[in-house]
Chains A and B, each alone.
Chain A
Amino acid sequence: MSTANEPAATAEPSLNELIAAAVAGLNEIILGKETQVRLCLACLFARGHLLIEDIPGVGKTTLAHALARSLGLSYQRIQFTSDLLPADIIGISVFEADTGQFRFHRGPVFAQLVLADEVNRATPKAQSALLEAMEEHQVTADGQTYPLTEPFFVIATQNPSYQVGTYPLPESQLDRFLMRIELGYPAASLERQLLLGRDRRDLLDELATAITPQQLLRLQGAVPQVHASAALLDYVQAVARYTRQAPEFEAGLSPRAVIALLRAAQAWALMHGHEGVLPEDVQAVLPSVVGHRLAARDDARFRDAGEIGQHVLAAVAVP
């Protein structure tokens, strides 16, 4: 924690400027994925965790790394493999001969931004170690509880479940992620830029910090303060009611999911300088927030989260 008194005369940059700078920086690294970048930031501001589901090589790791640099967060990457143990994530107590005591060696989870790569390749045991840390913001080893650093943000990436050798996350654990996004292939012209341009890793090194961790905490504190009017809450509840009644879904949105939807919409409204949350803000985040929470009864009905979102939105009138 910073104890230094900052000079009061220094004009604090407005939240909008901070966000605009962060978005601009990230867009230089991740080409043509502005929506995903914004969703990613909104997820972070709403204190949620992010799940990226896509095939390998579309820039999941680069996005996570760029985010860490842009926000000045300490960064750790955990590659999930089928032999990963919980201790490989949270750390391990080692006997030190000179002191004659056990000392806890902190694992990679003790970072502000943790990239859990290919989370569905590890066994459920290892997965649950990470998911517990995500939920509690602390880990327990040998009866001792260690708080994690704040802000704490997990980006997990997942191969599509049709790829072989995967342990897909159960629905209850998918619910721990505020949003799930897909990156997808870049447009042809942007892919040409990638081919012609410099290596992304070199660009990463040059990426300036746009938001400090202190500013990030302030932003996170501001999100729940964004006004949500009665009309807007009506809309959110109407969406929830629809998913619970619609025959095309196995089960509707849980209350936790509805809160997540509101928080994400608030973060989105904050990022876009809206005084209060607008229905558009809900609509913008809805596919990413509900896509992994609503299981279609007929598997072939929806191709992706976007279609689920469109289906729900088209069915619910904006009040």
Chain B
Amino acid sequence: MREPNAPSRLRGLAWVLAALAAAVGPHVPHLPAWVTLLLLAVCAWRWTADLRGTRLAPLPLRVVVVLVSTVAIFGTYRTLNGIEAGTAFLVLMAAAKLLETRTSRDLTVIVFIGWFLLYAALLREQSLSQLPWLLGSTFLTAVALMRVHASSAQAPAGHIVRRTLRLLLLAAPLALLLFLLFPRLPGPFWGIDSRTEARTGLDDEMTPGDVSDLSASGEVAFRVRFFGATPPPEQRYWRGPVLHEFDGRSWRRPSAQAFPQPQVTFRGPGIRYRITLQPHARRWVLALDLPATWPEREITQSFDLTLLSARPINNVAAFDLTSHMDFTAGASLAASMRRKDLALPLDGTNARSVALGRELATRHAGNPRAIVGELLTMFRQQPFVYTMQPPLLADNAVDEFLFDTRKGFCEHYASAFTVVMRAAGVPARVVTGYQGGEFNPFGGYLIVRQSDAHAWSEVWLEGRGWSRVDPTAAVAPERIQGSLIDAVAEDEPVPGRLRDASPLWLQVELGWDAVNDIWNQRVVRFDAQSQFDLLDRLGVDDPDWRALGLGLAGSLAVFFVVLSTYLAWRYRPPPRDWPGRLHDVVVARLRKRGLTPGPAESPVAFIERAEQACPDLARPLGDIRKLYAALRYGPSPRIDDLQRLKHAVNSLRV
């Protein structure tokens, strides 16, 4: 006999602890270390407490733990809302719950916290690579739940695992139906949107070194599927944020953006494509220079022709765009814009560059095309080096680069070029984005990575409007025609050296990327429009929300009918013997008198009750009862008893 209040071994505790640890796993890189350590410590403590049978934490201690962790979370994040603080808070509450886990009901609560944490991991990221872990953890958590509620402590683990697997497989069609047909709410779920977590990608500020840092990452920035021929590499300029303000070192987007929208005219055929962006937590949508059409409801265009999404791109997002290579953007330049794009810092930094610009202007009498041409020639002829590891630059960054070090990455060239142009009186600005991309033959699409990040310039020319000038192309044409790896020295930290050296590895990586692309297109990006397309393919004319709801309800009904039919067949009662069938007849007849057997009422007891309820039937029912009891339960049932029972039942008149 165990002592009252002493905790006994909790069934399934080990499984639940393992499942909780697995569910916290995806969050560990984002949680403060003390939260993870605290949870592990509590898990270990609860486990030893279970082994040794020590008492659990008293109520005051638990209250203190909850209060302290709430305050600590608030102190760390300044809020309890949002995915970061919310996850950390949930993990701490799971730890607190472990302090008072006495019954299987408490364990069930922890199991559900585990599932919720796994779900929260999906709010954070929906990449294919974390899917195996999430599925495995979900399964482990389900096994833990089954273990907690197993009927016997001795049930072997293999048995429970198989049972869980079977149940989950039975539920899989349901999950698929809900995935396909459950109405997708437009907009981010729960308004979880304001994530401050750093993402790899372009910024709205550029300092020398930024783009080369970005280029050291092999992460995918976006993928593009062309609905026609793929343009050649040297034309693949993916336009991102445009930078106007220069402080002598860094370039920024202007804070006030009240500039008139320039006139754009397009010529020649458009290039249609779908771009699928990886989340980068900013609003801009990269587009081939220069986009002509875009989904108007989701995207607007800024005064400097950057596409901006309505919300920061925190999830994988896909857009169908059209771009033209041949265009005229801004045939006339507003005075305010001209002022902005001619402005240089007034503090006298980079004086040598400014002097060079002025000299070029005087030499070419203000002819912009000649000025551009001469500066590009200078880049081409003088010993400029294209490198990812340029020397550090001090206060007069442009001067030092242009006249002393002459080693730089694309941002150095773009920055220096733009400064000299402005000094020469040519309106100019820096454009950041990506250039090039790798074609994936497995998926038939283009992969653009962070290592393709690039910066170039745009100058405004009378009659031609804003024109792209890429000084990097003058210094390192291999960068524009091939990729970064072709353009820099062999010892530089370019991502993907390994795959460049091994064709097999390249195949594997491209194949994996193609699978990721399918995952993004088919699963992550499966939205309301995809649902309507699906219904359309299934033959629903002009599908709408109503059709979707009806489809969902209908297919759920079919699913449950099929499932319950299967279960009814699987667990059908054994076939009835003759006395049983005859008793069923009696029950059916007596139902007319308003008599139904109770859930645990035996046939004999039921007929006995019927005899008392219907005195007029007492005699025939009494015979039936005796014959039934003798046939069913008697020591030596006789065959003629069955005949007599049949006769008695058939002649029963209600």
Contacts and interface: CB of A to CB of B under 8 A. Distances in A.
Residue of B601, B603, B604, B633 with most partner-chain A CB within 10 A: B633
Contact of A168 (B1, B605, B629, B637): B1
Nearest to B8: A250
Interface in A301-319: 310, 313-314, 316-319
B1 A170 contact: yes
A228 B634 CA distance: 8
B149 interface: yes
B104 interface: yes
Contacts of A171: 1
Interface string B118-155: 00000000000000000000000000000001111100
B596 to A, nearest CB: 14
Contact of B633 (A229, A252, A314, A317): A229
Dominant secondary structure of chain B at its interface with chain A: loop
Residue of B150, B602, B605, B634 with most partner-chain A CB within 10 A: B602
Interface string A165-202: 00010110000000000000000000000000000000
Interface string B592-635: 00000001111111000000000000000000000001101111
Contact of B630 (A275, A283, A317): A275
A297 B104 contact: yes
Interface in A278-315: 278-280, 283, 297-298, 310, 313-314
B629 A231 contact: no
A227 B604 contact: no
Given A171-B1, A246-B151, A227 B633 contact: yes
A251 interface: yes
B1 A278 contact: no
- How extensive is the interface on chain A, given as a class? 20 to 34
B125 to A, nearest CB: 37
B103 A298 contact: yes
Nearest to B603: A318
A140 interface: no
Contact of B629 (A244, A276, A318, A319): A276
B600 A318 contact: yes
Nearest to B630: A275
Contacts of A317: 599-600
A247 interface: yes
Contacts of A170: 1
A211 to B, nearest CB: 24
Contacts of A214: none
Contacts of A251: 152-153
B152 A274 contact: no
A318 B583 CA distance: 12
A280 B602 contact: yes
B46 to A, nearest CB: 20
A283 B633 contact: no
A55 interface: no
Given A168-B1, A170-B1, A297-B104, A247 B602 contact: no
Nearest to A225: B635
Nearest to B149: A247
A276 B636 CA distance: 9
A257 interface: no
Given A227-B634, A297-B104, A280 B152 contact: no
A245 B599 CA distance: 19
Interface in B46-101: none
B152 A278 contact: no
A232 interface: yes
A277 interface: yes
Nearest to B629: A278
A244 B635 CA distance: 29
A278 B604 contact: yes
Contacts of A228: 633
B630 to A, nearest CB: 7
Contacts of B150: 247
Nearest to A298: B103
A66 to B, nearest CB: 30
Contact of A275 (B103, B151, B153, B634): B634
A272 to B, nearest CB: 12
Given A227-B634, A229-B633, A231-B632, A245 B603 contact: no
Contacts of B104: 297
B599 A314 contact: yes
A279 B604 contact: yes
Interface string A51-78: 0000000000000000000000000000
A82 B603 CA distance: 50
Contacts of B605: 279-280, 283
B553 to A, nearest CB: 32
Residue of B103, B150, B152 with most partner-chain A CB within 10 A: B152
B634 A229 contact: yes
A276 B633 contact: yes
Nearest to A309: B600
A244 B633 contact: no
Interface in A36-51: none
Nearest to B154: A251
A231 B629 CA distance: 11
Interface in A241-264: 244-247, 251-252
A168 B2 CA distance: 10
Contacts of B630: 275-276
A315 to B, nearest CB: 8
A283 B153 CA distance: 28
Nearest to B151: A245
B27 to A, nearest CB: 32
Given A171-B1, A297-B104, A298-B103, A275 B601 contact: no
A231 B604 CA distance: 13
Interface string A148-168: 000000000000000000001
Contacts of B629: 274-276, 278
Given A252-B152, A276-B629, A227 B635 contact: yes
Given A244-B151, A247-B151, A276 B635 contact: yes
Given A244-B151, A246-B151, A297-B104, A278 B599 contact: no
Given A171-B1, A251-B152, A318 B632 contact: no
B1 A277 contact: no
B1 A280 contact: no
Contacts of B149: 247
Contacts of A246: 151
Contacts of B1: 168, 170-171
Contacts of B152: 244, 251-252
A283 B602 contact: yes
Interface string B409-426: 000000000000000000
A231 B633 contact: yes
A229 B634 CA distance: 7
17 contacts: A168-B1, A227-B633, A244-B152, A251-B152, A251-B153, A275-B629, A276-B633, A276-B635, A277-B633, A278-B629, A279-B605, A280-B602, A298-B103, A314-B599, A314-B600, A317-B599, A318-B600
Given A171-B1, A276-B630, A279-B604, 9 more contacts: A247-B150, A247-B151, A251-B152, A251-B153, A274-B633, A278-B604, A280-B602, A280-B605, A318-B600
Interface of A: 168, 170-171, 227-229, 231-232, 244-247, 251-252, 274-280, 283, 297-298, 310, 313-314, 316-319
| Pairs of residues from A and B, 8 with the lowest C-beta to C-beta distance, nearest first | A227-B635, A279-B602, A313-B600, A276-B633, A318-B602, A229-B633, A245-B151, A276-B634
